[in-house]
Amino acid sequence: MDPPTPDDSITEGGLVRPMFRLAWPIVVIQLLQVTYNIADTFWLGRYSADAVGAISLAFPLIFLLISIAGGFTTAGSILVAQYTGADSEGSAGKVAGQILVFISILAILLGILGFFATTPMLELIPSQQETTDQIVPLAGDYMEVFFLGMPFLFGFFVFSSLMRGYGNTKTPMRVMAISVALNVILDPILIFGLGPTPEAITGIEGAAVATVFSRGVASLIGFYILFGTDAGPTVNFDDLVPDFEYIRNIVRIGVPSTLEQSMSALAMITLTAMVVQFAPPVVSAYGLGNRLASLVFLPAMGLGRATNTMVGQNLGAQKEDRAERAVWLATKAGASVMLGVAVVAALFPEPIVSVFMATGTQAAKQTVEHGSTYLRIRTVEFTFMAVLQVMLGAYRGAGNTRTALGFSMVALWLGRVPTVYYLAFVASWGPLGIWWGMAFGNVVGAIAAVLWFTRGTWKQTVIEDDEKANAPDVGPNADVSGDGDLTSADGGTEK
């Protein structure tokens, strides 16, 4: 480990300080992100247990469409990081502008598609009759509002991703804090119809409206920061004019990330289709447990995304060894933190789960029982989750998005989905089979990702002459730091 110096930065000096400076705002951003979901769950848990089950059913379907555009925000973060590390500020701004236009168009199209596809998507998921009658209609109401607000949601996603690649994670954190505070205020007002709230947007629709409106405010603030300040990559209005050389690179790097997120969404839908074969309390416990798991995974997610930036900028600066040392530092830190979190969650699952189910009904009591068991079992995977997230962040930062796709598929489609099916239905473990199968996937994925990482092929930077010749004109640093590093970071170097 490098000794700390006053000049520690992402590409110079010690590693601990820049990693920490990047990671802690990302953890806070993720915490605030989860707060959206937790606030919805908290208030809907006081509205009805069925509403909690409805959002757990709706989320995988929403995530499926979000993931189509979401992978390209990852490409934006990767490219901005590499251009920034290579001191090619003009190219970082150009990439940011192209991502903004590209994602905005996709978000509008996906929002329209999602609104009209809500009912058909829900009808494709087989469910127990009680779940069909009580939960599915509520899920449809939530999804339709959410899809109408899709463009407002993606604005902040793009802003946060671009700023992370640039190395500024504090500004998105502050914007997110404003948005979450607004959501927390609006949730009870809209869900319970307090004051002059129109009756048509109360209940579960109120939760969706609160989220969409709050994200819209965050998006507007983010656009102002990108275009009106120097806090991130300098974006000019000229950068919004489509440049197909840049779009080609965005698509090339973004498609594997899109596939990764889409396949993750399909895995979630497949798992949900299995879960809804059980009674509503099991469905609600599954959704509640997943939201709590997403909360405790925050340190791992933060370190994974910080690793993305550390690797991207250091490879852009041609410092491969420093990038590798940053990955191992993040792995050790993440595993240690998540081990401590796992101990706490394993010892006190019921008090944690009970906070979110306060209706006092028999259904709520059963949900707490199932949810407590689920949370305790999933603590087995916490340390492995941290390792997997850091490894995926390293591959993405290098531009090896196809490698990240591969190990995500190992975790989900080899480790998790078949295990849940076998244990829950073939071995007849019932809900316990779901809980254990969910935990198993990240264990398998983490072990596989570490073994592949030790090969070292992820950091090879072989640049083909024809790729240099076709690179976009990015200014005086183009031959050394423009499309060269961006291309070298592509998964094509992985054999």
Q: Which two tokens stand for residue 370?
A: 């199932």
* pLDDT tens string 155-204: 888 888 888 888 888 899 999 999 999 988 998 888 887 877 776 677 88
What's the full length of the chain, in residues?
495
What whole-number distance in Å separates Cα of residue 181 and Cα of residue 32?
9
CA separation for the pair 399, 115 (Å, rounded): 33
Q: Where are the beta strands (DSSP E) in 99-200?
A: none
Cα dihedral across residues 445, 448, 454, 457: positive or negative: negative
Tokens of 278: 């059980």
DSSP conformation letters of 442-459: HHHHHHHHHHHHTT-GGG
Average pLDDT over residues 48-70: 79
| Residue whose pair of structure tokens reads 């407590």 in the numeric block | 372
Q: At what angle do helices 298-316 and 280-296 cross, to 10 degrees?
A: 50
What pLDDT digit, counting tens, does each position of 21-34 carry? Answer: 888 888 888 778 77
Q: What is the mean pLDDT of the chain?
A: 80
Tokens of 265: 């969404």
Average pLDDT over residues 337-366: 81
Q: How many helices (H) and strands (E) does the chain have?
A: 21, 0
Tell me how far apart the terminal alpha carbons of the chain are, to the nearest angstrom: 30
Does residue 282 surpass a pLDDT of 50? yes
| pLDDT at position 493 over 90 | no
Query: How many degrees, rounded to 5, is the angle at CA 36 between CA 35 and CA 42?
Result: 75
Residue from 346, 349, 343 nearest 370 by CA: 349
Residue 260 has pLDDT above 90, yes or no: no
pLDDT (mean) for 445-449: 94
DSSP characters over 208-232? HHHHHHHHHHHHHHHHHHHHH-SSS
For residue 121, name the pLDDT band (cuts at 50, 70, 90): confident
pLDDT at 476 over 50: no
* CA proximity to 438, closest of 383, 379, 370, 357: 379
Structure tokens at 252: 């090339």
Percent over 90 (pLDDT), the chain: 21
pLDDT recorded at residue 128: 67
Copy the structure tokens of residue 373: 């068991």
What does the angle CA 275 – CA 285 – CA 379 come to, to the nearest 5 degrees?
Answer: 100
In degrees and rounded to multiples of 5, residue 31 shows phi and psi of: -60, -45
What is the per-residue pLDDT for 390?
94
CA dist 36 and 25 (Å) reads 17
Residue 166's alpha-carbon distances to 17, 297, 351, in angstroms, are 17, 24, 40
Burial 35-44 (b: 16+ CB within 10 A, else e): bbbbbbbbbb
Contact 299, 334 (CB under 8 A): yes
Give me the helix-helix angle, 49-85 and 150-166, nearest 10°.
Answer: 40
pLDDT-wise least confident of 121-130, 211-220, 261-270, 289-298: 121-130
